[in-house]
Structure 1
Amino acid sequence: MTIHRYPSSLTVQDARVTLRCPSTERGATLIVVLLFLVLIMLAGAIAVRQSNTDLKIATSDQINTVLLQSSDSANQKLEMMINGSSTSTEYRDVTSASGVFGHFLLDDDNATNEFIYCFNPRTKRYLASNATVMVKGTVEKPVAYWSGLKNGVCDYNSAEGYTSARQAVVTQMSVTVAPADPNDERFAHVVIGKEIEDRTSKKFTFDIRAASALPSYSEPKANGDNCFAQTSIDTNVVGSKKSLSDCMLEAGTPSKMLYEQADVENLSSSTKCTPFGRGTFNTECVLKATS
Structure 2
Amino acid sequence: MESVSHQTHYFVPEPSRWPVVGALALFCLGLGAALAVNGVGFGKLSLGLGFAILFYMLFGWFGDVIRESLKGNYHGKEDLSFRWGMGWFIFSEVMFFAAFFGALFYVRTISVPELGNFEHKLLYPDFTAAWPLSTGPGITQRYEAMAAWGLPAINTLILLSSGATLTWAHWGLIQGKRTSLTIGLGMTVLLGALFLGLQAHEYSHAMHELNLTLGSGAYGMTFYMLTGFHGMHVLLGAIILAVVWLRVVRGHFNTEHHFAFEAAAWYWHFVDVVWLLLFTLVYWL
Instruction: Give TM-score, length-normalised by structure 2.
Output: 0.25
Higher relative contact order (CA 8 A, sep 6+): 2
Larger helix proportion of the pair: 2
Larger strand proportion of the pair: 1
Instruction: Give TM-score, length-normalised by structure 1.
Output: 0.24
Q: Mark the structure with the bigger radius of gyration.
A: 1
